[in-house]
A and B are shown apart, each in its own frame.
Chain A
Amino acid sequence: MNGIVRISADAAARACGAEQVVRAFEALGWTVERVSGWGMQWLEPLAEINGVGWGPVTAGRVADIAGGSADDLCIGPVAAHPFIAGQQRLTFARAGRTRPLSMEDYAATGGWAGLQRARSIGSALVLDEVIKSGLRGRGGAGFPAGIKWQTVASAAGPRKYIVCNADEGDSGTFADRMLMEGDPFALIEGMAIAAGAVGAQQGYIYLRSEYPDAIAVMRAAIDLAAQRIAPFRIEVRVGAGAYVCGEETSLLSSLEGKRGEVRAKPPLPALEGLFGCPTVVNNVLTLAAVPHILSEGGAAMYADLGMGRSRGTMPIQIAGNVKYGGLHETAFGVTLRELVHEIGGGTASGRAVKAVQVGGPLGAYIHPGDFDIPFDYEAYAAADALIGHGGIVVFDDTADMAALARFAMQFCAAESCGKCTPCRIGSVRGMEIIERIVNGGRKADAVEVLPQMHNVRAAARGLEEQVALLEDLCETMKFGSLCALGGFTPYPVLSALRHWPEDFGLVQAAMA
């Protein structure tokens, strides 16, 4: 019996072989509906028939599924799966349930209601509701979105812009990609609401070139929604492989057609942003959370979730060496232990968890002893860590933390925009110091031992001195860098050094 099967068109599903599965179903005469991904990526490609899911499917098992005999792959009703049922999905409410480019599906699931209401209540009330919802920037800095919007709204300028930061370069993060590929109209609606609230006419989505699928979907969605959001216009601009362009001032430089160099703040982009005009720069997830907040009663509901000053939900991305990797949107306050062991199911390799990096390449490595820390901007900051864009990368006990610390410095050196010295040169020196620590200290070089070098100490530098030097350097980078790239690279380095000194060959050395 032939019917309708729903298979995700998300890049993660496609990379796992969804296209072959689609062709196999079509060859059997089935109708295939391409939907967004549920975010259960260990099950991709996931085939859904009448609400019941099978995964991970290979083309060879399609006939079994069609014939009703693939019970080993069956996960039962998808929406009731514990991974999905345990979440509080607001931003990702449509994930898995709608066709990404279907205007009917979007409207049928509450789409455009936020924009319509925003237009009817006027910009002052919109700003008020966004502030009251407690929504904070989801890109990493966690700045209150409503305050930013208000600054732009009250700034004077010939033009104003809404810029969406879709340069999701952090390793371990994919929520922006999933949202743009799966629910593009939500982002468009969020941008249109922001535009109405601050008085902007033009919006840009700065999307990284590593996301070809998201670029195609966003462009198609913008064409379809052009009438809805008029006179506001949105254009997708494609990045060119520079990680630092995820930093807002660097992103603005890049949009202007310049080198993606960081600018000093102030002036804030809210006052002098793109082409010198007042500009809202928000992350994809921030803007996509807005339609829900602006729906009837949405702001109060959003503010009721979460803990402390972190209100609402956070789409957390569980990645790396983890059994059940995917997207888990839930209210702030969840602990890493729950995320890694209960929801993520521990490591994919079955070995012990050694470390978890939270917040991308600039986030701290967190030791299993600290897994009770709640997911909250302030709690992480207090623990010398950051939640960043909400990506968590799990490592098993084969991970070499010294190598990862060195990689953090190497990555910073490769991606530094070059504008400020602590980042540009500090990262290279940091890499060298870590190498010297791992190699057991530093011997005096050929020049230093020359008899005429009176002022140079010929004795070898001990490990403690190298460690002190690394800590000093990290201090300089942290407080002297212009942006988060140089400023936060010390987090992974110092956390690795503090919690796993044995990986650096520092077992005896007294560590704080």
Chain B
Amino acid sequence: MDLRSRKGRFTLPDAMDRIDAIVARHADREGPLLPILHDVQAQLGAIDAQAETRIAHLLNLTRAEVHGVASFYHDFKAQADPRPVIQVCRAEACQARGIEAMMPAVTHAAGARVRVETVYCLGLCSVGPNARIGDELYARLDEDALTKLVTGA
């Protein structure tokens, strides 16, 4: 669902209605739970207990099963966090190119305003250190460029 169709309504559709729509859209897939969780995470910002219960009900699973899956993967969050997110790669290739020495400055620049997530590998290992904001990727970062990304996030 894109933003325009949501703005077109007078009130935001209830979260549960949106979950129903998401599940209905994926219902005929084999093993639909992961695509459903991705969409719920993207639209609602989190997969909370209520969402888990609803999804479980619609898929004829127990909430424990859905919670087990949602809590297993790093991409799914139990609580929405409205702060901007920057993902910083700290795997070996970026370590070899000096990311660890930049992390104190990054943490400092982020403060409580920006969430800094560690990600293991963005696949840009010959041009690191790398970071990702949304679907935008950034390579060849030095401390200056990286802290600027954080403050601009």
Contact = CB atoms under 8 A, between A and B. Distances in A.
Interface of A: 11-12, 14-16, 41-42, 44, 168-174, 176-177, 202, 209-213, 235, 237-243, 254-261, 275, 317-322, 325-326, 348, 357, 361, 391, 393-396, 399, 404, 407, 411, 415, 417
B34 A254 contact: yes
Given A241-B73, A256-B31, A174 B124 contact: yes
B122 A210 contact: yes
Contacts of A261: 72
Nearest to B72: A259
Given A174-B124, A325-B126, A393-B125, A238 B35 contact: yes
Interface string B31-44: 11111011000000
B17 interface: no
Contacts of B97: 320-321, 348
Given A259-B72, A321-B97, A237 B127 contact: no
Contacts of B37: 240
B93 interface: yes
6 contacts: A15-B139, A209-B75, A239-B75, A257-B33, A258-B31, A258-B33
Which of A210, A211, A321: most chain B CB closer than 10 A? A210
Interface in B105-144: 119-128, 130, 132, 135, 137-140
A11 B125 contact: no
A393 B92 contact: yes
B69 interface: yes
Interface in B1-56: 29-35, 37-38
B96 interface: yes
Nearest to B34: A257
B91 interface: yes
Contacts of B93: 171-172, 319-320, 391, 393
A168 B35 contact: no
Nearest to B94: A171
A243 B72 contact: no
Contact of A171 (B75, B121, B135): B121
Given A11-B123, A361-B120, 19 more contacts: A12-B127, A12-B139, A41-B126, A42-B126, A44-B127, A169-B120, A169-B121, A171-B91, A176-B123, A210-B122, A238-B34, A240-B73, A240-B74, A257-B32, A257-B69, A317-B126, A320-B92, A407-B92, A415-B120
Main secondary structure of the interface of B (DSSP, over half): loop
B124 A12 contact: yes
A39 B138 CA distance: 17
Contacts of B75: 209, 239-241
Contacts of A325: 125-127
Nearest to A241: B74
Interface residues of B, number: 40
A399 B98 CA distance: 9
Contacts of B35: 237-238
A15 B96 contact: no
B125 A391 contact: yes
B84 interface: no
A319 B125 CA distance: 5
B59 to A, nearest CB: 8
A171 B130 CA distance: 12
A23 to B, nearest CB: 15
Nearest to A243: B120
B123 A210 contact: yes
Contacts of B95: 399, 404, 407
Contact of A173 (B33, B34, B125): B125
Contacts of B125: 171-174, 317, 319-320, 325, 391, 393
Contacts of B132: 210
Contacts of A260: 72-73
| Residue of B95, B96, B121, B128 contacting most chain A CB atoms (<10 Å) | B96
Contacts of B139: 12, 15-16
A170 B33 contact: no
